[in-house]
Amino acid sequence: MPQPNVNQLRECLVLRSALELSGERAALYRRVASGALTHVARGVYVETQNWAAWSPRTRYRAAVVASALIAREPMIYSHESAALLWKLPWVGAWPEVVHVTTDAALGGRSSVLMSRHTLGAPEPTEVIDGLAVTTLARTVVDLAARLPFDLGVVVADAALRRTFHSIAGVPRTSVTADDLERELLRLPLRHGSARARRTLYFADERADRPGESLSRVTICLAGITPPQLQVVMYGASGRRYVVDFWWPEFNVIGEFDGVAKYSDPEFLQGRTPEQALIDEKKREDDLRATNKGFARWGWSEARSIPLLTQRLRQAGVR
């Protein structure tokens, strides 16, 4: 179902501090006790039926918006919260805490619902949906210093791709490898700079989707020959295609086949999932007819060295 935007979320949230009469607050507590309202942040609630209908991403967005509504001082959102606001792809569960970055001199403690990072007040910042957020380059480096290698690469690949493929709803931003390198220099050694450097050096803007980024990492860790990415090829019919992976040494095409290909409106472009599946089969047959090998895999293989290795070796990739 359609998920609410930030302005709609603000309208959905119920603030205890906005209730001036004792009777109103008593009614609020009764609704909380009955399960009709769900707790989002300190003194902030939402209708449970709305909460149940929201995706994990929207629930986390609600937590970020709620933290801004009750904040006593301006917040600069960072790390996972900045990734959310920048609409970066995320693999796995969203965190339960909101992340902000402050100057150590300003003090402030982390809590059950908020993590304060005293890495120095970021300059400059951006504003997304009325909320101050670390720049895209700073966000990527902060996350690369904290996340596992594969998840950090997912974020870094997507950020670099923004230079060529902007998305709606966030500031148009150009991020290059040099931008990330400059941002990396301000990261103290004790705060994961070595981990971040490994991630950023591996990042590649040609990776089109999170599943492709995860696949690249698994291929690397498995010691398999690195493929070329997003390569233009022509089928036996003469039709032009762009394939996810190409190993010229082994004459093999590789394709990550996530479920989004058959459910995401961006991919479907007005087609039914069944028609998209048929079109994909025709595409593969057309490419195979040029005497090229072909390997497909999904999420389980993309994150498993043994499974992806087996799939690629069966296709002739070493």
**What averages of pLDDT result for each successive group of 10 residues across the chain (318 residues)?**
88 94 94 97 96 96 96 92 97 95 66 82 89 96 96 98 92 94 85 92 96 98 98 98 98 89 70 85 96 96 98 97
pLDDT, residue 108, reads: 58
The per-residue pLDDT for 203 is 98
Question: End of a domain among 17, 45, 70?
Answer: 70
Query: Can you give the pLDDT at residue 267?
Result: 66
This prediction has a pTM of 0.92
What pLDDT shows up at residue 259? 67
Q: Are residues 58 and 159 in the same domain?
A: no
The tokens of 246 are what? 């190409």
**Joined tokens for residue 142:** 């902060």
Helices 136-144 & 177-184 angle (0-180, nearest 10): 60
pLDDT at 104: 58
Q: Which two tokens stand for residue 312?
A: 């690629």
Q: Containing domain of residue 101, as a range?
A: 71-205
Tallying the residues shown for the chain, one arrives at: 318
> Do 77 and 172 fall within a single domain?
yes
Are 134 and 246 contained in the same domain?
no
Could you tell me the two tokens for 313?
């070796």
Quick one: 76 and 196 in the same domain? Answer: yes
Residue 264 confidence (pLDDT): 72
Residue 201: its pLDDT value, please? 96
Among the candidates 70, 91, 124, a domain finishes at: 70
Q: Domain total for the chain?
A: 3
Do 197 and 218 reside in the same domain of the chain?
no
CA–CA dist 86, 160 (Å, integer):
13
User: Are 80 and 188 in a shared domain?
Assistant: yes
If asked whether residues 146 and 231 sit together in one domain, one would say no
Tell me, yes or no, whether 106 and 41 share the same domain.
no
Instruction: For residues 60 and 80, state if they share a domain.
Output: no
Residue 111, pLDDT score: 79
| HEC readout, the chain | CCCCCHHHHHHHCEEHHHCCCHHHHHHHHHHHHHCCEEEEECCEEEEHHHHHHCCHHHHHHHHHHHHHHHCCCCCEECHHHHHHHCCCCCCCCCCCCEEEECCHHHCCCCCCCEEEECCCCCCCEEEECCEEEECHHHHHHHHHCCCCHHHHHHHHHHHHHCCCCCCCCCCCCCCCHHHHHHHHCCCCHHHCHHHHHHHHHHCCCCCCCHHHHHHHHHHHHCCCCCCEEEEEEECCCCCEEEEEEEECCCCEEEEECCHHHHCCHHHHCCCCHHHHHHHHHHHHHHHHCCCCEEEEECHHHHCCHHHHHHHHHHHCCC
Domain end, chosen from 182, 205, 228, is at 205
- With CA atoms as reference, report the closest residue to 73 among 43, 107, 42: 107
Q: Are residues 189 and 76 in the same domain?
A: yes
Q: Are 25 and 52 part of one and the same domain?
A: yes
Strand-by-strand arrangement of the 44-47 sheet: 14-15, 44-47, 37-41
